Chains A and B, each alone.
Chain A
Amino acid sequence: MREAAVVSVPNPLQRIPGVAIVLVLLIALFSVIAPGFLSVANLSNVLVQSTILTMLALPMTLIIMTEGLDLSMGAVLTLTSLCVAIVSLATKSMLLGLGAGLLVGTAFGVANGWLVAILGIPPFVATLGTLGMAQGLSLIVSDGQSVVGIPHSVRDIYSATLLGIPVPIVMAFVTYAAFHGLLYHTRFGTYIFALGGNREALRYAGLSPNKLLIAVYALGGAMAGIAGLLMTARMNSGHPTAGLGLEFDAIAAVAVGGTSFERGNGWLLGTLLGVLSVGVLRNGLNLISLPSSVQVASVGVLVIVALFLDGLRSRA
């Protein structure tokens, strides 16, 4: 009884062990079994490859905090990545490409928010529907083919460095700082906590929970737009299945990171560690030559275990 009482104290610091232990265990495991895992080149590779996921997992954390979910993120990223590729190819301008990606991503985010907030459709079905729509649009705009020959200005974003640090890492860091500031140091952030924890309170305070919800989903769509630019730069092309299943890695990172699916409790630093855990897991399995199919399956197992532990914790 006494132990249970101690565990149930809602102190975010108590989550540190969970996700940090997962990360340390994974790193320890792969340092032993995967030759070359601990090299500087490989570790920086893990970081660079985790940047796209970071950009999805951070807004996914906010969405899950509102007791929502966005299954469309991977498909929307695919579509925005194609938009970036097509527009930058046609205009030779990286910025116009990014603008197109942001626009399309935000439009999908607003649509998701509208379906969830105004029409009241359960988030997992609403975003499953928009997943199909984004997937279909991706096939339609690309005709099922890769978009190649995009300008160097797009590709360079992924390979360039700033003061010796790869630009994607700088972008991910800035994104994290912005989300941290937004969630913990602005009124909007406080409202996001209230959206999941106590929506009635928002209404009594004279705020519109619906508008806030739409804003949270729109943020997710916009971030999928920025991540779409990184994806196009990384693949040096637009591909109609580029983001397949990425939303699942994002959900995995959030779940492993200790954000609860049922109590409007979110922790951004945990999500960041969750992203690194997923990145290390995939990279390590890759190094010991297991195919990407096994990586996908192990991320699935990781999520189920994390949710099971989350369930145990909430009952304790």
Chain B
Amino acid sequence: MTDITKEALMPPRSFLSQDAIQVFYRLLAALLICAVLAVLSDSFLSLGNILNVLRQASLTFFIASGLTLVVLTAGLDLSVGANVALSACIAGTVIHKTGSPALGILTGLACGGLVGLLNGVMVTALRIPSFIATYGMLWVLNGLTYWYMAGETLHGFPAGFRQIGSGYLFGLPIPVYLLLVFLGIGTFFAQRTVWGQEIYAIGANPVAARLSGIPVARRLLLVYAVSGTMAGLASIIFLSRLNSAEADIGESLTLPAIAAVLIGGTSLFGGVGTVFGTFIGALILTLVLNGMNLLSVSANWQPLVTGIIVILAVWLDMKTRRRAQ
């Protein structure tokens, strides 16, 4: 039997399987980091700090959840950070000009989604490798944002709008509720819908996926558009939490998002991983960075540590997979 038929005959991936074990290990790792930090720093276990970690993790998760779908198809979206910056600046301008937060939110989501769709077109119709296409898009967006903002900073948004990023409901930050909602939607979409399973199939074996009648190009367009829309959503939360928008807000966002996806156990080679794993990945990364902050390590160390974590995560993933085979 050829490889292609074997792959095609594989049963659909269920949540309680190899994936569940992988997620369990990662939860243990997160708890271990918590324990270490609780010993090292008195302020780690304070309510304020824990809520802060959750809020921070939710921001990384919004970007990383859409990215997870892209990575599941064996693609990559390097433009997410730059997309957040452009969407935030455009949404901020719309809110300033019209005074309507709703219109601003819609514009931010639309801008993010449109950029994602363009990425999808480059990957499917123009057949440019995704990491290069989205890397080109990164610089196009960067240039556009800096040109559009011309060194200006937008700030001061309506109080109601600022609640989205900085408000609380029953003692929990509002972004945490949004995180739960999108975690639920993402997990349901990936594990329990036909489209979600088709995305896994495309990542596992694109040829088999096409031969079994999956509209590969349309599903790919969808995942890149979702990734862009989630970047648009993240831009709204950022805008509302920072109460300001500047052209450079996206520069430090892409690497952490990729790190969260990879720590979460989604394989760069496609077809393996879960949205829930990405949530744990975002949590682990945030805990590490938060711990460095509590231990008064300069923020200058963050890119170095994030870079090392990205490489370690890929290496560990490849090692466990090689052993599993």
Contacts and interface: CB of A to CB of B under 8 A. Distances in A.
A307 B133 contact: yes
B307 A131 contact: yes
Main secondary structure of the interface of A (DSSP, over half): helix
A214 interface: no
B76 interface: yes
B258 interface: yes
B56 interface: no
Interface string B139-153: 111111111001000
A297 interface: yes
A122 interface: yes
Question: How many B residues are at the interface, by size bracket?
Answer: 35 or more
B132 A261 contact: yes
Nearest to B318: A120
Interface centre among B136, B137, B315, by most chain A C-beta atoms within 10 angstroms, is: B136
A132 B255 contact: yes
A181 interface: no
B268 interface: yes
A124 interface: yes
Interface in B292-325: 298, 300-308, 310-311, 314-315, 318
Contacts of B126: 304, 307-308, 311
Interface string B271-288: 000000000000000000
A143 B300 CA distance: 7
A221 B269 CA distance: 27
A119 B76 CA distance: 20
B268 A300 contact: no
Residue among A71, A120, A134, A297 facing the most chain B CB atoms (10 A cut-off): A297
A167 interface: no
B127 interface: yes
Contact of B140 (A262, A297, A307): A297
Given A119-B318, A133-B307, A300 B136 contact: yes
Contacts of A117: none
Contacts of A71: 135
Interface in A116-137: 119-122, 124-126, 128-137
Contacts of B258: 125, 128
Contact of A294 (B127, B143, B255, B305): B143
B157 interface: no
Interface in B117-171: 122, 126-129, 131-133, 135-147, 150
B137 A115 contact: no
Interface residues of A, number: 47
Contacts of A294: 143, 147
Interface string A298-316: 1111011001100100010
A304 B122 contact: yes
Given A126-B311, A293-B142, A307-B133, A139 B303 contact: yes
Contacts of B311: 115, 121, 125-126, 129-130
A251 interface: yes
A300 B318 CA distance: 32
A132 B76 CA distance: 17
A308 B318 CA distance: 32
B124 to A, nearest CB: 12
Interface string A129-152: 111111111011001100000000
A128 B310 contact: yes
A291 interface: yes
**Shortest 3 CB-CB contacts between residues of A and residues of B:** A136-B304, A132-B307, A297-B143
Given A136-B307, A139-B301, 9 more contacts: A69-B132, A71-B135, A126-B314, A128-B78, A135-B303, A136-B306, A245-B139, A293-B146, A303-B132
25 contacts: A119-B315, A122-B314, A125-B76, A125-B310, A126-B311, A128-B258, A129-B308, A129-B314, A131-B307, A133-B303, A139-B303, A245-B142, A248-B136, A255-B132, A261-B129, A261-B132, A291-B146, A293-B145, A294-B143, A296-B142, A297-B139, A300-B137, A304-B137, A304-B140, A311-B126
